[in-house]
Structure 1
């Protein structure tokens, strides 16, 4: 250190991009006694006057740089506000030499772009659109932006990111937007900036009806709402999945107002609200068996669909015809492009001199490759035509017309997936509000699309007799029948005739359930009393012994199997 005595430069303060760098240089020079020289003179940073003068020069230089940067930024925004700032356009558009943005002159590129928006409006998710494009071998046309091949059209396999960018870009709705991504300080390193997607209200510029549009602005807003709803979260419905729970995303807890989650178990699915337990350490609000709830809501939905069945069948017919026309148009464009490539390769081969064998062989190979590609596409198109005709047949038309009378059968058909059932429910229902009572009943409020509401009460399976709404009347009736000397089987018949029912969605009582209920109530039927009197000394019925020892009957059964308890089974019980 100390090897440098003088630093020479022209306008030294302009070498630093910020005052921090400039003052750091002054500190180092003052520490080691290094002088600084420019066109105006020689300065010693260790001296007060020179240090003050150098500091002022650095401050003025930094202020000038900041002012220039601010002017350039404001000029860029001002130009964007006039719609005159040029930026790269996405697939489906090209920019002319004059700066005007127009549709891509290639018809196939336009057709594929419109197809993406139509299929998203129909299917509702990006992944479903991607599967459709891959299944039908539809590629995305992209113009090369840089290099020797700038402006050439290339076809790439579709992917999820490119489809999302297409659906989110407002240019397809004819809007000129600037500032969709802006620089913000990075959390991990505030001195650096990173780009972040901004909300629409925070964009610098947004001018509607400025550019050619593939979709309307209203359709663009619906697409953004659908993309937001497909996100997983408490405030969004989420995309329809293939699970058995049909009300996922629609069911709302009537106690806390949060969306209820689904839990799959071997015996079936269940809806639960665990927001209070998860966020606040409390207890879960409520839960209900999914099968009974789904059946109740589906019955209401099918009733609501009956008046609109004819309109649905006509819409299905129109959609089927439109899809076949789109696919056939896409195949025709692929064949036309392959034919053009083959003819162009033929012309190139015919223009070469016969003596130039090196070039002729290469062009011949390219010609043969394009011919094979054209022939392959023709064979694939023939298979496509064999699988489905271009026009809807009369049988298909008649089958679609019969949809009006077969909606329940179509709903239960094995060909109808859970994803399709969920999509149907989401088209007619906004949400379902659930309030589970302490008994076997639950209150439902269905909010339909359009503002109408329906309220109903459903019966849910409960685990215990004590949860039944008529438990007190049931106990009173059992007391009366036991006092009359009725046996378990006779009591069960009397209760079934009176309209009583057991828990767990069973329809009738049996003798075993009555015996368990009588024991829990501390009663004994006449049959049990007679049976106990006939037992020898030092013998107990298994249930009575379990009560005496205060242990579960399951434990006594395990002891019997292990040989720890002497037991016998009485084949014929006294009547």
Structure 2
């Protein structure tokens, strides 16, 4: 109603008056318990997840929902997509598998329900009962005192002479004030009783301690997830979840019904790409062996001799080493002697194309060896150089290329 632009009262026929409508709305707001200030977990419902309705998103503050992803099998997943449903963003806040969190909370619940903890809680409850009894006695004494004062004021008013109106009015006023104090004390005592913790029957303490000793075995034998959910809701108010994507951690902030809070860190599983990614130590080892030997076969042999395995859990192969070098820009070193030349150096020396250099190599006009980097190193003696120059003179393509280079 606060957002209405225009409101005309009594414009149409009414079922109830406007005052009754406002009074009903006010009562509904007072009866509302699941609002922004107090999120309730709700009753235990069907489903295979333990924390359904208990998890609160640490990003938007809304309850997380359940998704059942089917990937050869049903995988329950907690997800918060409230912002996505509202059109505020194009993706969900975050999600995670239920089997990462449910076992952790189960273990915490079993730890809380140990006989020692239950015994401590019962002893503490006994102290609270004693304090409540003392407070209750004080309230009763206060009410008795107010009742006594009201009775005295009543007797004084009844004994006064009615002809003395001023004194009678004064005594009546005092009597009304004492009655108001008595009514206020009774109302405050009733409110105190409503807020006071429910008394725990003493004859059931031994039964609960005996039950606590068998809770771990009963929990493991119970196949009804709904019963487990009810037990968890008796202990936990809600769990606020935040996610650190960089550290791959989940932070579970548990708010116990007893009052204290507790934070639990849960490590997220590595992504599929991270599982098959080589660590920095392995990359540096491949880099060192490549620069030292300049031969992939030698690198593979040494790694397999050390019992090291690839990212897939298999022995190293040529394809694996070549992929590591390509991915991390590890270039194969050129290990050549002083009398060896590369294809580029030979091309520059004779002013010919690289195709002709490879033609010489394929036809054994020059002595060449193939390196592990799949390149050639060529040896040219003075006699070979003289023969090659004569061959260039009689080659039509070589002369055309040399003539073109002179023109340019």
Q: TM-score, normalising length from structure 1?
A: 0.31
The structure whose RCO (Cα within 8 Å, separation 6+) is larger is 2
Q: TM-score, normalising length from structure 2?
A: 0.42
Larger Rg: 2
